[in-house]
């Protein structure tokens, strides 16, 4: 994938180790990645117009992932959003969907599942090599 066609993913997670792992995973799959240690830091990012997808951790201080997604939508963000969490429940899924989150993914099963979910959230048209042979 050339530099001109790289898709940009913004990732917000307050855990530095998780953030580093997600950056590595997504960059390995050809994405341009910007990381943020908090929802507030992501909200203050000046170049959000270039975002192709947001990956947002649910449990963060100051703003949880659903609140962050809602604020991003209020500010006009239209890019797909994938919420990641260590604790799934149906009410969380409903709240996330209500603010425009396309998908919810349970930690720690992120690896290639995250890449697949990002591509699916973006409409699937950006998949590479048939999702790397996934079924």
Q: Is residue 20 part of a domain?
A: yes
Q: What is the pLDDT of residues 40-69, one digit of tens each?
A: 999 998 777 789 999 999 999 999 999 999
In Å, how far from its chain's centre is CA 65? Answer: 10
The predicted pLDDT at position 122 comes to 84
Per the prediction, the chain carries an average pLDDT of: 85
Q: Is the peptide bond before 108 cis (omega within 30 degrees of 0)?
A: yes
Q: What is the CATH number of the domain that holds 72?
A: 3.40.50.2300
For residue 15, the 8-state DSSP code is -
Q: Is residue 129 part of a domain?
A: no
Q: Is residue 130 part of a domain?
A: no
For residues 24 and 107, the model is more confident at 24
**Strand ranges in 14-102 using DSSP code E only, listed in sequence order:** 32-36, 53-57, 81-85
The predicted pLDDT at position 118 comes to 86
The predicted pLDDT at position 83 comes to 95
Q: Write out the residue range of the structural domain in which residue 58 sits.
A: 3-124
| Structural domains in the chain (count) | 1
- Name, in order, each residue with C-beta under 8 angstroms of 17's C-beta and a sequence gap of 6 or more: none
């Amino acid at each position: 994938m050339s530099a001109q066609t790289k898709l940009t993913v913004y990732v917000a997670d307050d855990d530095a180790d998780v953030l580093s792992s997600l950056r590595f995973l997504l960059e390995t799959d050809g994405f341009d990645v910007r990381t943020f240690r908090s929802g507030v830091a992501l909200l203050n990012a000046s170049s959000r117009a270039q975002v192709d997808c947001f990956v947002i951790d649910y449990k963060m201080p100051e703003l949880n992932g659903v609140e962050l997604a809602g604020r991003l939508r209020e500010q006009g963000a239209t890019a797909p959003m994938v919420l990641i969490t260590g604790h799934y429940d149906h009410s969380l899924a409903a709240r996330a969907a209500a603010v425009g989150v396309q998908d919810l993914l349970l930690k720690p099963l992120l690896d290639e599942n995250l890449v697949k979910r990002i591509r699916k959230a973006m409409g699937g048209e950006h998949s590479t090599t048939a999702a790397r042979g996934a079924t």
